[in-house]
Amino acid sequence: MRLRSLVGIVPLFAVEVLEEEQLAKLPGFHKRLQWYLRNRADLAQSVYNADTRGGDGHTHRLLAITTAERLTRVLRFVLDENEFLSPFGVRSLSRRYLDQPFVFQDGDEERVVRYVPGDSDSRMFGGNSNWRGPIWLPMNYLLIEALERYDHFYGDDLRVECPTGSGRLLRLRQVAVEIARRIARLFLPDETGVRPCQKRAPDAIFGPHGKDLVLFHEYFDGDTGRGLGASHQTGWTALIVRLLEDLVREDAGGF
């Protein structure tokens, strides 16, 4: 049995859509691409989709490691709320390992990996290994961008169930919006008026107006959304600003 972790999702990020107009402006790149397709067909068949889509008046060519069939298969787990899909984004490890830990037998030693939604509960890797459950905003952002690119190529021809088991079939762009909305919940007041990301930050930190002073936490609890790790991680958690802007455009008619 393979470990279901965010590592298995990363290959989805390697995707780009090439337009005929772009290739015409890049003759050197186009020449090298044609050479690659002719001389390394053994590799090209795994990363280049020669199908063209011209429904919008343009021709698109897909460069991606993941085929449509593999993409659909992986997303079945990514969009499963019992596995990766949290109310606040995509977890770094499947939640199934909460009750069914992943066990690897190494000779006489047994290695166990459990789903831990927040801070690490072991000294593995020298202190605090946080990649066994929490939500990392940059990885979610890269997934959203990749889904938008896949949708640009496949359009309405490729729909997946979101969430898995719901019976609701969505285009990949709509899936990207759904994940973005879940991430946005981290920073928006819930029904009690509390932002999930601030459940760790009592009013004592900022006083009575603390609820409006939002920290940029390093990562977030996979179940509650509570902000964890460094609280000044503007290097990547500030990506939430871009996602919020995109959601505003989506609600106005165009993501």
Enumerate residues 6+ apart whose C-beta is below 8 A from 195: 186, 187, 188, 189, 211, 214
Structure tokens belonging to residue 250: 């989506």
**Sign, Cα dihedral of 56, 61, 67, 73:** negative
**Spatial contact of 17 and 149, defined as CB atoms under 8 Å apart:** yes
**Spatial contact of 85 and 79, defined as CB atoms under 8 Å apart:** yes
**46 within a domain of the structure (yes/no):** yes
Confidence of residue 212 (pLDDT cuts 50, 70, 90): confident
Which three-class secondary structure state does DSSP give residue 84?
Answer: coil
Between CA 179 and CA 170 the distance in angstroms is 12
Between CA 216 and CA 236 the distance in angstroms is 9
pLDDT at 221: 96
Same domain, 52 and 76: no
**106 within a domain of the structure (yes/no):** no
pLDDT at 199: 80
| 122 against 147, higher pLDDT | 147
Confidence of residue 55 (pLDDT cuts 50, 70, 90): low
CA angle 157/160/162 to nearest 5° reads 145
Looking at the 3D structure of the chain, how many domains does it have?
Answer: 2
User: Which of 22-26, 96-100, 106-110 is predicted with the least confidence, judged by mean pLDDT?
Assistant: 106-110
Same domain, 138 and 246: yes
Same domain, 84 and 177: yes
Same domain, 14 and 85: no
pTM exceeding the 0.85 threshold for the entire prediction:
yes
Same domain, 156 and 240: yes
Residue 31 has pLDDT above 80, yes or no: yes
**Spatial contact of 171 and 159, defined as CB atoms under 8 Å apart:** yes
Q: Which domain holds residue 53?
A: 10-64
pLDDT at 234: 87
Residue 117 has pLDDT above 90, yes or no: yes
Between CA 253 and CA 240 the distance in angstroms is 20
| 48 against 44, higher pLDDT | 44
Same domain, 146 and 206: yes
pLDDT at 210: 67
DSSP 99-122: TS-EEEEETTEEEEE---SSS-SS
